[in-house]
Amino acid sequence: ETVPIPHPPRIPLIGSVTSFDREVPLNTFILLAKQYGEIYQLDLFGKIIVQLNSYALINEVCNEMRFKKTVAPALAEVRDLISDGLFTAHGDEENWGIAHRLLMPAFNAQSIRGMFDDMKDICDQLVLKWERFGHDNIIDPADDFTRLTLDTIALCSMSYRFNSFYLTEPPQFAKAMVEYLKECFARATRPSIVQAMMPGASAKFQENKEFMTSVGNKIIEERKANPIEKKDLLNIMLFGVDPKTGQRLSEDTIMRNLLTFLIAGHETSSGLLTFMTYYLMKNPETMRKLRNEIDEVVGQEPIQLEDLSKMPYLIAVMRETLRLSPPTPQRSAAPVADTVLGGKYFVKAGTYLRLHIWAMHKDPTIWGEDANEFRPERMLDGKFEALPPNAWQPFGFGARACIGRAFAWQEVQLVMASVVQKFDLFFVDPSYNLELQMNLTVKPKNFHIRARPRNLGP
Ligand code: MNH
């Protein structure tokens, strides 16, 4: 016996959400999940979306025989720039397979370890900046961490330097990208009639797209004119041959994947760093434990690659941060054929399902009654490994899971350990509580800190 999927009342033309938070759509979805529970259907400006919020339903959708990734409306807008790049490709696009097979080895743990020195280069720039500006300086962690992650992915993957820490304003590329992604999001929730009345926004959109494309092409041209030995991602894409088809990537595809790494590889990691800073500062006991671990393993020496595997508490803090605040809070899938969800909700083939990972990560059937609390201890001592399948998935799922996971992991370990090793952190507004901002990913908003170089004493 199937039952209808609950839905908020529908209003003609507007759909079912009268007070949609356009600035931070996530806030609306969090609210609706609380009101409707495990599943509800939404008519969002003419698009029908089935939202899944519980572990049980989302786990069921983690079956690649029955469901496949779909490119959500906001991502579909980004396709205008990066088309069949890894992140925004449809599953059946040939270039996804070629790039996936070529690049998976380039992102494995071994290759990532080889990037440690480049990661440290950029990390040291952030530490120096905070040391030199001193305690009076007001830091916007989201801003500095975004400089860091953009510079890091560009240096590691294409040996290119944005030099963000030497600029007062973020580099023009970063500005163009943020504007562009924000506009993609807005377009996805803007009725087409409204869109048609915004020629200014469309011109800017086009201009940003052309600028980013030109940077991508310039990086490729420069590499071709000045070849280097290094086995970075750019060289692998330029010279690699797909073992399965014998094909190589076209220059267009390479440019789109370069832009994909810059987009997918920096907002997310910087979100994790910023959320983590916030949770550590809000939970002084956790901060104290983490610092003890770092002091014991690293002391006052520069952090080495080998140190990273010796800090389990740091890993627990990262996992717990990604549970409470996954920077990509939702992902999308569709049933391959007509099917029934949870034994009672009928959904047609191709229905747009949105998996609300942010909500699922707080499902009390998995995480207990204190699901909303920040408690890294729940990720320690084998408890993480003992979680039910797919209960923790900030990096997505299956064939379309994040390719940059090991990269982000090492980068964030290094940077967080360095920051906690070197600085005492203070809220500028001691009463600050987490607020969210959103481009393509989500981050803390209005969060400001001061960093005082630690007095390590005699
Ligand atoms: Mn990443 C896919 C989260 C860091 C490059 N990433 C995904 C997905 C999630 C995700 C979730 C799946 C999206 C979907 O189902 O539609 N990624 C993260 C998080 C971090 C992150 C939370 C950091 C923390 N990602 C990175 C980094 C890079 C990167 C760093 C690049 C170097 N991610 C990708 C790419 C994909 C992806 C590329 C698409 C993979 C594919 O579909 O083949």
**DSSP three-state, residue 348:** coil
Within 229-347, residue ranges assigned H as helices are 233-239, 251-264, 267-282, 284-297, 312-324
Q: Which is catalytic among the residues 123, 156, 184, 402?
A: 402
Residues 7 and 345: beta-carbon distance below 8 Å: no
- pLDDT tier for residue 13 given thresholds of 50, 70 and 90: low
The proportion of the chain whose per-residue pLDDT surpasses 90, expressed as a percent, equals 80
Lining residues, ligand 1, CB within 6 Å? 69, 86-87, 100, 153, 260-261, 264-265, 268-269, 272, 327-328, 331, 394-396, 400-404, 407-408
Nearest to 434 by CA among 30, 39, 135, 131: 30
- pLDDT tier for residue 458 given thresholds of 50, 70 and 90: very low
> Is the confidence at residue 455, as pLDDT, over 80?
no
> Is the confidence at residue 15, as pLDDT, over 50?
yes
Q: Which is catalytic among the residues 20, 395, 426, 427?
A: 395
pLDDT digits 0-9 by tens, 252-280? 999 999 999 999 988 899 999 999 999 99
The proportion of the chain whose per-residue pLDDT surpasses 70, expressed as a percent, equals 97
Prediction pTM value? 0.95
Q: Is 402 a known ligand-binding residue?
A: yes
Residues 340 and 60: beta-carbon distance below 8 Å: no
> Is the confidence at residue 129, as pLDDT, over 90?
yes
The terminus-to-terminus CA distance of the chain in angstroms comes to 73
**Does the interface predicted TM-score (ipTM) exceed 0.90?**
yes
pLDDT digits 0-9 by tens, 29-67? 898 899 899 999 988 767 789 999 999 999 999 999 999
